[in-house]
Chain A
Amino acid sequence: MNFPTMSDEPSVAANGYLTGSTLERVLKAGHFAITAELGPPQSADGEVIRQKTALLQGLCDGVNITDNQTAIVRMSSIGAGTIVIQAGLEPIIQMTCRDRNRLAIQADLLGAYALGMRNLLCLTGDHQTFGNHPTAKNVHDIDSVQMVRMVTDMRDDCIFQCGDKFKGQEPRFFIGAAAAPFAEPTEFRPYRLAKKVKAGANFIQTQLVYDVPAFARYMEKVRELGLHEQTYILAGVGPLKSPGMARYMKNNVPGILVPDELIDRMSAASKPWAGKSKDELTPEDKKARSAAWKEEGIQICIELIQQLREIEGVAGVHVMAIEWESAVKPIVEGAGLYPRPEV
């Protein structure tokens, strides 16, 4: 099988690109970047990946392929990423420290590069107690900061983590890391971001942002540290599906702040059906209510993007429409970010 590779692989020396991935080019050109997210199936069905890729085609500059997200076994990010490339989109490979030691991470990334992958997101990984194999042994040989440095050293100095030099093609990734601006201790979060930037992170994708003023305060500190000039920061956004989902995230997901105002807006969207118990609602009612919620969720997401765009140092957004890939199109179009720039 012939896997497509980038025809005009830029060399750093010649044009200053680290990898030449679309995401890197878009960001370097100063465009407001969009990344999306694609969760691989809990099966070996490549068709699912092709269908989801089609929903995101032309709408983003790169698509995150999750790595056993929430510790549930799914098709591997590199396997799914290969199908995404064949289908014409550029993947951002997510790699967690939970499932692989330093040998496996390096080996898999050599393979990922050879298969045409150019963007990488280094993550600690959700604890396995959340997933479908809670009795598993976790790895955590290295952490996400150390992973960023390891892959930066592989790219820039052709050395493995052990210090050995290697010959031949180095894996040239546009290297990303995650940030959780609202996780605790919040006052340390900008500094932890600084560690990831110091380790070599070229871009950052944040946890979901719903509280824009709180995020603006975080960014103020980030700018004070000069981090926005050393890395590209993509704020995480995601459409709410229902008031229940908004409340769940507010109360149960660490590091996500959902202002009551947004929960109220979601509730207001279902006003025509308010006060009716589950049994009183016909299937048609439920369908119409869900559609009304989703419409409002998308509208809120669009407004969040517009507000985040105004914050100095925000280089783009990472749209997480988990198991709702079809929402990305109206969000990107509604935010006035379609079509994507040709770079």
Chain B
Amino acid sequence: MIIAEQKSLEEIKTLIGKAENILVVGCGTCVTVCFAGGAREAAIVASSLRMSTKLDGNGKNVTDVTVQRQCEWEYLDQITDRVADVDLVLSLGCGIGVQAIAEHFPNAWVVPGLNTSFMGMPSEQGVWDERCAACGDCILGLTGGICPIARCSKSLLNGPCGGSEEGHCEISPDVPCAWQLIYDRLSSVNKLDTLLEIQPPKNWRTARHGGPRQIIRPDLRLASEED
């Protein structure tokens, strides 16, 4: 899922600027699960803003609402009236949610309340780790289910580099070396010979480097009127 974390209240207040009527919009999917922008967080942010602006001597009118998914039009339709009533929307969705609101409500001014961090999972309670870089050409079949694109600091395809020590990456003792993990995993399933193959340069076109990406599924598209 998408992992995000909240911006500081100070930064949020700067983004809000002079707006007086504010709608905080939470999202009921990924950012709810990672405790960054669900209904609970939206209520807390709204209340914090009310208190903080009141203490500043300029109490603002802040309300909140949470939709199931900010990244789908049908859920955004449900808050059309609420959005029309305010002069600023503070989205607690991921970057996709913020952009969906901007696109769906052309007259609304929307600002982000979160920093969208990465695609990952909770590795333990209160800890989230990156797992996927959405490169568009999955190689997990070669690496025993551990992604070097997302998890090696240098995205090596023929690792490990010389900076691997005691299982961690050269950048920090807190960062596991992805290639040590790959090595251990392939070793445990008797597939170390996979690592002897030289992996050729990656086609990065399927990653962001080929420009913005789009998937079109003709089988799922609704027939246009002309058809």
Residues of A within 8 A of B (CB): 97-98, 102, 124-127, 129-130, 138, 140-146, 149-150, 161, 178-180, 183-185, 188, 191-192, 194-195, 198-199, 207, 254-255
Interface centre among B153, B172, B184 (most CB of A within 10 A): B153
| A207 vs B165: C-alpha distance when bound (angstroms) | 14
Nearest 8 interchain pairs by C-beta: A180-B162, A254-B165, A145-B158, A124-B161, A183-B162, A143-B156, A142-B201, A140-B154
B178 to chain A, nearest CB (A): 12
User: Could you list 24 examples of A-B contacts with CB < 8 Å?
Assistant: A102-B201, A124-B162, A125-B154, A127-B169, A129-B172, A140-B155, A142-B202, A143-B154, A143-B157, A143-B159, A144-B158, A145-B199, A180-B162, A183-B165, A184-B177, A185-B164, A185-B180, A188-B192, A192-B158, A198-B198, A207-B162, A254-B163, A255-B164, A255-B165
Contact A199 B163 (CB under 8 A): no
Whether A98 touches B198, Cβ cut-off 8 Å, given contacts A129-B171, A188-B183, A254-B170, is no
**Complex interface: chain A residues within 8 A of B200 (CB):** 146, 149
A124 to B171: give the CA distance in the assembly, Å: 14
Contact B196 A195 (CB under 8 A): yes
Contact A188 B155, beta carbon cutoff 8 Å: no
Chain B residues contacting A178 (CB-CB under 8 Å) are 162
Task: Considering the complex, give the chain B residue whose CB is closest to the CB of A134.
Answer: B171
Which partner residue on chain A sits nearest B204 by CB separation? A141
In Å, the complex CA distance between A303 and B200 comes to 41
* Alpha-carbon distance between A76 and B192 when the two chains are bound, in angstroms: 38
Interface centre among B161, B169, B172, B202 (most CB of A within 10 A): B161
With both beta carbons as reference points, the residue of chain A lying nearest to B149 in the complex is identified as A140
> Which interface residue of B162, B199, B200, B201 has the most chain A CB atoms within 10 A?
B162
Task: Find the A residue at minimum CB distance from B158.
Answer: A145
How far, in Å, is A256 (CB) from chain B's closest CB? Answer: 10
Partner of A146, one of B166, B172, B201: B201
Alpha-carbon separation in the docked complex, A178 to B137 (Å): 29
B160 within 8 Å of A by Cβ? yes
Q: How many Å lie between the Cα of A98 and that of B158 in the bound state?
A: 15
Complex alpha-carbon distance, A22 and B188, angstroms = 46
**Known contacts A129-B171, A150-B201, A185-B180; A195/B158 CB under 8 A:** yes
Interface, chain B (partner A; CB < 8 A): 153-167, 169-172, 177, 180, 183-184, 192, 195-196, 198-202, 204
Closest-CB distance, A134 to chain B (whole angstroms): 10
Verify A124–B201 contact, CB threshold 8 A: no
A126 touches B170 (CB 8 A): yes
In the complex, what distance in Å separates the CA atom of A259 from the CA atom of B67?
Answer: 62
- Contact at A124–B156, with CB atoms within 8 Å? yes
What's the Cα separation between A140 and B163 when bound, in Å? 15
- Measured between alpha carbons, how far is A102 from B204 in the docked complex, in Å? 12
Q: How far is the CB of A327 from chain B (nearest CB, A)?
A: 24
Q: Are A185 and B183 in contact (CB under 8 A)?
A: yes
* Complex CA–CA separation, A97 to B202 (angstroms): 13
Minimum Cβ distance to chain B for residue A330 (Å): 28
With contacts A143-B159, A150-B201, A185-B183 known, is A124 near B154, CB below 8 A?
A: yes
Q: Please, which residue of chain B has its CB at the minimum distance from the CB of A149?
A: B198
B162 to A146, Cβ gap below 8 A? no
Q: For the complex, what is the distance from the CA of A250 to the CA of B162, rounded to whole Å?
A: 15
Query: Which chain A residues border B156 with CB–CB below 8 Å?
Result: 124, 140, 143
Q: Which residues of A contact B204 (CB under 8 A)?
A: 141
**14 new A-B contacts at CB < 8 Å, known A145-B199, A185-B183:** A124-B156, A127-B171, A138-B154, A141-B201, A142-B201, A143-B154, A144-B158, A180-B162, A185-B160, A185-B164, A191-B196, A195-B196, A254-B165, A255-B165
B154 touches A183 (CB 8 A): no
Please give, as numbers and ranges, the residues of chain A lying within 8 Å of B165 by CB-CB distance. Answer: 183-184, 254-255
How far is the CB of A175 from the nearest CB of chain B, in Å?
Answer: 15
State the CA gap A31–B199 with chains docked (Å): 34
Contacts of B201 in A (CB 8 A): 102, 141-142, 146, 150, 161
Which residues of chain B are near A145, meaning CB under 8 Å?
A: 158, 198-199
Closest-CB distance, A64 to chain B (whole angstroms): 15
Taken together as a complex, chains A and B put the C-alpha atoms of A126 and B154 apart, in Å, by 9
